[in-house]
């Protein structure tokens, strides 16, 4: 989760995370990050991609 926190600290408007559907640890870290920071899920890669890529973006203007 530290990489996500650093992205938020730097004001990164969009974040892409791999293995969201495949790894429970990755999903848990992303979900916790979404609770703590002003980001939301824009989309998750299609059903054919079993590993899953999640696209996050900020909920605020910089």
Give tens-digit pLDDT for 4-21. Answer: 999 999 999 999 999 999
Tokens found for residue 38: 């002003």
Position 60 pLDDT exceeds 70: no
Position 50 pLDDT exceeds 90: no
Q: Which element (helix H / strand E) includes 49?
A: none
Nearest alpha-carbon partner for 20 in 34, 37, 38, 6: 34
CA distances from 24 to 13, 46, 59 (A): 25, 18, 25
CATH of 2-58 among 1.10.3680, 3.40.1620, 1.20.140, 3.30.1370: 3.30.1370
Tokens found for residue 6: 């650093």
pLDDT in tens, 18-43: 999 999 999 999 999 999 999 999 99
Position 62 pLDDT exceeds 90: no
């Amino acid at each position: 989760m530290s990489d996500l926190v650093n992205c938020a600290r730097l004001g990164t408007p969009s974040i892409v995370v791999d293995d969201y559907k495949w790894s429970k640890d990755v999903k848990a870290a992303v979900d916790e990050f979404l609770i703590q920071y002003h980001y939301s899920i824009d989309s998750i890669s299609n059903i054919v991609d079993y590993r899953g890529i999640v696209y996050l973006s900020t909920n605020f203007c910089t």
